[in-house]
Structure 1
Amino acid sequence: MNRTEHIALMASYNQWMNRKLYDAAAKLTDAELALDRQAFFGSILGTLNHLVLGDTVWLKRFALHPAGYPTLAPLDAIAAPADLKQLAFAHIRELTARRAWLDQLMIDWVATVQVADLDHRLHYHNMRGTAADKDFYSLLVHFFNHQTHHRGQATTLLTQAGVDVGDTDLLALID
């Protein structure tokens, strides 16, 4: 598997797992989703919001790549969040719609990434405004790892709330 195939697999895994998470979350009430469970982002809803906000920030950064990536152009209409802990979506229905849209955007975008694109350095600013210059492929690995990390937290919170997410292994998507 080459690097572009790897990021395509990770984008598919992201979409598959998010569908499972959101299907599981739909079994809870709004109050149960918003309940402070003493997690990094408080609630299940807070954790899922963080993932959407973090993905938005990174995808907007990836749009700065010299390749241009027209598939990421729809992100221009979305403001970058000022804080990754904000509850941008107070209701799971709106959050689910944004999540599905972002996941499809990722699938479409990674299909356009070329092997040569991966060897560039990406110049961007972090959330504190500090300039950064990092290897693009390594940033993509971080991006997908960040998603997996926080989905693991969300899965734990859902399990503690009595909802089984089911199989979460990437292995399920590998031929």
Structure 2
Amino acid sequence: MLIQHFKMLARYNTLANHKLYGACSQLSDKELKQIRPAFFKSIYGTLNHILIGDRIWMGRFTGQEISSTGLDLILYDDFEELRKIRVLEDEKIENFMSHLNQDFLTRTISYVNNQNKVYTDPVDMLLSHFFNHQTHHRGQIHDMLSQTEIAPPVLDMHRVLRP
């Protein structure tokens, strides 16, 4: 049951990102990068942060130790390049979740956070955090979009996943 839940969240994540990037693509580069009252300073900064977070957590899930420093880096300065990389990352996430098994869900993962503290947490909680992190920051982008001329897309899970 939990495996199906994470598969559903992965699918939702892909579709929600697609909708969000579609709305963001209507903004100029200046609007995307405009400094706003947000933790990662702009729509563009927040899009990059989500990708950074995804790479950190996916690395941890696959047994790599990935540093969680530089959470505000701009990995890709060009929106279309960032969008293409987002699509590839979402494919990796869906593929990973499609191969989940019960053994993996009962494990723990030890990692070093961005304040150099070591934590060991259950995988099922970390997977939930992984998807919650994206949703949290998509909500921030949704709010920043509402400050532009572009209407933010509907991102309610039940509406995004509805056939």
Please tell me the TM-score bracket, short chain as reference.
over 0.9
Normalised TM-score (structure 2)? 0.93
Secondary structure at 2:146's aligned position in 1?
A: helix
Q: CA deviation at 1:116?
A: 2.2
Q: CA deviation at 1:91?
A: 1.6
Using the alignment, how far apart are the partners of 1:40 and 1:51 within structure 2?
A: 12
In the other structure, the counterpart of 1:122 is 109
Contact 1:34 1:43 in 2 (8 A): yes
Query: C-alpha deviations, 1:122-147, integer Å up to 9, x for none?
Result: 12221233221100000000110010
Q: CA deviation at 1:97?
A: 1.2
Using the alignment, how far apart are the partners of 1:174 and 1:128 within structure 2?
A: 40
The answer to whether the aligner puts 1:22 opposite 2:21 as a matched pair is yes
Q: Name the amino acid aligned to 1:100.
A: V
In the other structure, the counterpart of 2:33 is 34
Q: Name the amino acid aligned to 1:12.
A: R
Measured on the aligned residues, the alpha-carbon RMSD in Å equals 1.8
How many aligned residue pairs are there?
A: 162
Within a 5 Å distance, the mapping from 1:1-175 to structure 2 comes to: 2-64=1-63, 82-172=69-159, 173=161
Secondary structure at 1:134's aligned position in 2?
A: strand
My pick for the range that moved more, 127-136 or 144-153, is 127-136
Contact 2:109 2:123 in 1 (8 A): yes
Secondary structure at 1:46's aligned position in 2?
A: helix
Using the alignment, how far apart are the partners of 2:11 and 2:45 within structure 1?
A: 23
My pick for the range that moved more, 97-106 or 116-125, is 116-125
Moved over 2 A (4+): 79-82, 127-130
Which 5+ residue runs of structure 2 have no aligned equivalent? Answer: none
Secondary structure at 1:123's aligned position in 2?
A: strand
Normalised TM-score (structure 1)? 0.86
**Pair 1:81–1:90, CA change in 2 (3 A):** farther
